[in-house]
Structure 1
Amino acid sequence: MPAKQPRTYADIIRHSFTSLLTTIGIVIVLTVSVTLVVDQLLRAQNQAEQLSASLQTSQVTNFQDWLAINRSSGLNSHNTFVFIKNANGSTTSLLPHGNALANASTWSVPFTHLTYFKGLGLFFAETLKTGGRTYHLYIGMHVLVGNLHVLIAVLIIAIGLSLLIGLFFVRRLAKRISAPTIQLAQAAQQAAANPETTQTELPQPQEPVEISQLAKDFNQLLASQNGRLQRERQFISDASHELRTPIATIRGNIKLIERRGDKHPEVIPESLGFIDQESLRMQHLIENLLHLSRADRAEVTLQPLNIAQLTQSVVTHYQPLVTQPLSFIGPGDPVMALGDTDMLHQILTALLDNAHKYSPADQPITVTVAQSAGQITVTVADQGTGIPVADRAHIFERFYRVDASRSSKIEGSGLGLAIVSQLVQLNQGTITVSDNDPRGTKFTVILQATDELA
């Protein structure tokens, strides 16, 4: 069985409108027809009751008596017939042409007083017994049938014209409604055809509201995609730049050894030192890139941790590695938060590394743990040179260095804080940077507090 072809807006609207009009037309035809039939049957029944009452009173036996009753009752003699069955079994018709009706084949409509006479039409039938005679009354329903024919024909013509006119307007309506969607789809196809380029905003119509909202959502998605694409390009450019320098240094020193190593062996140890230093720099850069890559794909299960104990342990183990005095401030009681032990250890170490690199050797670094309003804050504050306000929005970007003039003087690839930001997000926390008092920088990590014990 072939798959059903998907339909357009116009097809769906036309099909729905046609079905609606057809259903309404059928309901109208049935309602009017049933109403007319019931009305005519009630009229025929009323006539039959009047005629039955007259027959019971007069008990006519011939055509002249019938004419007198017919004239006094106002009945239509051309539409009404009476047959009399006598006690001896003979049948008398009160109209000269009634014998044709008596001899015609009949078919009774179930559950009604209607009888169909072949070749003569539909009649309302009633039987009355009085004075030894049985009167069979037949009132013709020709007017009803004729009216039904005319009514149905008129309704069919009216419904047909309504369908034609309606389909014309529906076609225009469907085209008007689907135009913004088609325009949006074409723009989206053009955007999808060039995934490597920065995408322009899709057209956003004012109406329908649903399509306008869809276009707005698409534009937000495109803006996010453009930002991600721009960051990836910048990341590739920065990574290439960072790798190009040590590779060039390594190749230059290798060439120097090849050219002058035989005659000037003293250059060999110095060149090997440069090669070792630059290769170590490349190793750190690649390790940081791998950290970022793993963090982007990591799935973390957060568990209750004593942040105060973990932070104090990191500070204690880090103190012998730096010249700055480290101090820890925190409550003596357990401070429980949701997090991952290894990642939080890496976050704290990276923040301490950053404070160590940008602080004078004799200035203190303070690590503080506090709890308030269902949150745990871990703050690393230094007395260094500080970070300008304009740079604070970018310090968590990959390869961003605050002071380009010091980039060569201070070791680092500009990936440390980007890794910290990614790890904090994985722990469902936030990180902010602000000025320290009286000088320096303060990094604050905010985590979710929990009442559970580890």
Structure 2
Amino acid sequence: MSKRGNSSAARITHAYNRLLVILMLLVSFSTITVVGIHLIKNKHDDSVELMKTLKASFDQDEPDWQYWHENTPVNTHHTFARIQVKQGKKTVQRYYTRNTRRFLDNTWSTWPLISNVQYQGNQGVYYHTQAVEQEGQLEVVYDTWLSLNGMIEIFKMILLMSTGITLLGLLVGSWATRVLARRLNQPLVTLTSAAKVISNAPSPDGQEALPVPQGPEEVRELTVEFNRLLHSLKQQVVRDNQFVSDASHELRTPLTAIRGHVALLQRHGKAHPELFADSLAVIDDESQKMQQLIESLLALSRMENAQMSVAAYDLVAQVKRVVSRYQQQTPQTLKVIVPDRMMVQANAEAIEHTLLALLSNARKYAPANSVVTIQITKGGQRALLSVADLGPGIPDAEKAKIFDRFYRVDESRSKAIKGTGLGLAIAKQLTTLSGGELSVVDNVPQGSRFMVHLPLAVSENL
């Protein structure tokens, strides 16, 4: 029951009901106020004319009620008048219109509401006016009472109509709003059902997607974005599963070699002590591979949610220093084409690691007697650091995959090349964390060209 009460349809219906009630209360109050002011003003104007006629009817110390009835501008059936003649504080004479004396019998129950408006318990609401005139030694007090009961009936009718319209609006509007809200929420209900089916599927095939409704536009866009997110998560799961599989495969090879030589030594070590040197060399080499692989995996794991600080530094000086040091480790000739200075906004340590990874990749795949070109250029608001080799190159279909973990372009050839298959993946992650971008294109006339795009420092843009 609480879920139904918290649904969008229920909330929209409740909001509509509250809005309708508030609106009708405002309309009723405004109508009654405007009508009431208008009627009170009319009664005031009538009372002024009534008072003039009453004064005109009092002639020769006695009122002419016939004249008053014939000349008063209002209906005298529910209008009462009284004239009092006083001498000092003493009342000398009182004159009443028909039924006025009986009307005033219950004066003890009369109490004022607002100025000039009085309530008579047995008679209703009346508009009372009083005027005093001095005639010689006498004081004449004129009192009139105009019935406001007709106005009260109008107010009652307005209230009844407002209440009736409000109730009808609540009944019809609530039903219509609930139906409309359910219709508008139906795509969300459908999406929820589809999501439950996907989440409860015993063996998902990885191709699940929510049905995209035609409308409303917001729900359609939400579904499209959710499907994109779902697809991205599926790809991430696939990559993670592949990563675990590849890591297990890469670790299995050195472990198999280590266990094989341990078993060999256990069986034949005593009889053939000369086996120890070769087996220990293999065990040491394979353990180093495992250590390097594990350290690379840990580095990638730490970089998943890492943040790097960036600062302005001279990329040219860094490239010259790294290339000069690395030239001693590679048989290829390293050719450097750089300007005098290029200030970038990046993490120097991360970019140095990336450059070493690219040089190491060129050393593995480029011919020993070839030239590896390292170049720095400026393009727009970014600096471009490129490493071009003359190796076998990378097919177009493989370019998007070479930065994946453990990926090798040629598995049969790569087994003869030392490495963990994680160098480019780490370089890609480091470049991204440093605010740059790493990509690969074909080199002309042969080989591959890795490009590192880095943001220029503020001083370079001035």
Distance, in Å, in 2 between the alignment partners of 1:396 and 1:389 is 13
Change (3 A) 1:325 1:46: closer
In 1, are the aligned partners of 2:80 and 2:99 still within 8 Å (CA)? no
Change (3 A) 1:300 1:137: same
Instruction: Please list the CA deviations of residues 109-131 of structure 1 after superposition, one character each: whole Å capped at 9, or x if unmatched.
Output: 23x22121222111111123345
Q: Secondary structure at the match of 2:304?
A: helix
Change (3 A) 1:30 1:382: same
User: What does residue 101 of structure 1 align with?
Assistant: 103
Change (3 A) 1:41 1:338: closer
Distance, in Å, in 2 between the alignment partners of 1:157 and 1:350 is 81
Change (3 A) 1:107 1:385: same
User: What does residue 226 of structure 2 align with?
Assistant: 218
User: What does residue 39 of structure 1 align with?
Assistant: 38
In 1, are the aligned partners of 2:86 and 2:93 still within 8 Å (CA)? no
In 2, are the aligned partners of 1:63 and 1:95 still within 8 Å (CA)? no
Query: Aligned pair 1:280/2:279, yes or no?
Result: no
Q: Secondary structure at the match of 2:77?
A: coil
**1:312 deviation in Å?**
1.1
**1:452 deviation in Å?**
4.7
Query: Aligned pair 1:246/2:250, yes or no?
Result: no
Please say which of residues 89-98 and 340-349 is displaced more in the overlay: 89-98
User: What does residue 327 of structure 2 align with?
Assistant: 319
Change (3 A) 1:72 1:405: same
**1:334 deviation in Å?**
2.2
Q: Which amino acid letter does the alignment assign opposite residue 94 of structure 2?
A: T
Distance, in Å, in 1 between the alignment partners of 2:64 and 2:306 is 108
**1:196 deviation in Å?**
11
Q: Secondary structure at the match of 1:301?
A: coil
Change (3 A) 1:169 1:46: same
Query: Aligned pair 1:160/2:167, yes or no?
Result: yes
Q: Secondary structure at the match of 2:129?
A: strand
Distance, in Å, in 2 between the alignment partners of 1:31 and 1:402 is 81
Q: Secondary structure at the match of 1:71?
A: helix
Distance, in Å, in 2 between the alignment partners of 1:58 and 1:44 is 20
Q: Root-mean-square deviation (CA), in Å?
A: 2.7
User: What does residue 303 of structure 2 align with?
Assistant: 295
Q: Secondary structure at the match of 1:200?
A: coil
Report the TM-score when normalising by structure 1. Answer: 0.90
In 2, are the aligned partners of 1:436 and 1:442 still within 8 Å (CA)? yes
Report the TM-score when normalising by structure 2. Answer: 0.89
In 2, are the aligned partners of 1:191 and 1:199 still within 8 Å (CA)? no
Paired residues, number? 447
Q: Which amino acid letter does the alignment assign opposite residue 447 of structure 2?
A: G
Q: Show structure 1 runs of 5+ residues with no match.
A: none
Instruction: Please list the CA deviations of residues 264-318 of structure 1 after superposition, one character each: whole Å capped at 9, or x if unmatched.
Output: 4444433333323322221221122122123223321111221111111111111
Q: Which amino acid letter does the alignment assign opposite residue 282 of structure 1?
A: M
Distance, in Å, in 1 between the alignment partners of 2:240 and 2:94 is 107
Please say which of residues 374-383 and 417-426 is displaced more in the overlay: 374-383
Change (3 A) 1:284 1:159: same
Q: Show structure 2 runs of 5+ residues with no match.
A: none
Distance, in Å, in 1 between the alignment partners of 2:436 and 2:273 is 55
Residue identity (%): 33
**1:400 deviation in Å?**
0.6
Please say which of residues 192-201 and 6-15 is displaced more in the overlay: 192-201
In 2, are the aligned partners of 1:343 and 1:423 still within 8 Å (CA)? yes
Q: Secondary structure at the match of 1:365?
A: strand
**1:439 deviation in Å?**
1.2
User: What does residue 178 of structure 1 align with?
Assistant: 185
In 2, are the aligned partners of 1:302 and 1:340 still within 8 Å (CA)? yes
Alignment of 1:308-387 (within 5 A): 308-331=316-339, 333-387=340-394
In 1, are the aligned partners of 2:338 and 2:376 still within 8 Å (CA)? yes
Q: Secondary structure at the match of 1:337?
A: strand
User: What does residue 411 of structure 2 align with?
Assistant: 404
Change (3 A) 1:90 1:145: farther
Q: Secondary structure at the match of 2:249?
A: helix
In 1, are the aligned partners of 2:383 and 2:454 still within 8 Å (CA)? yes
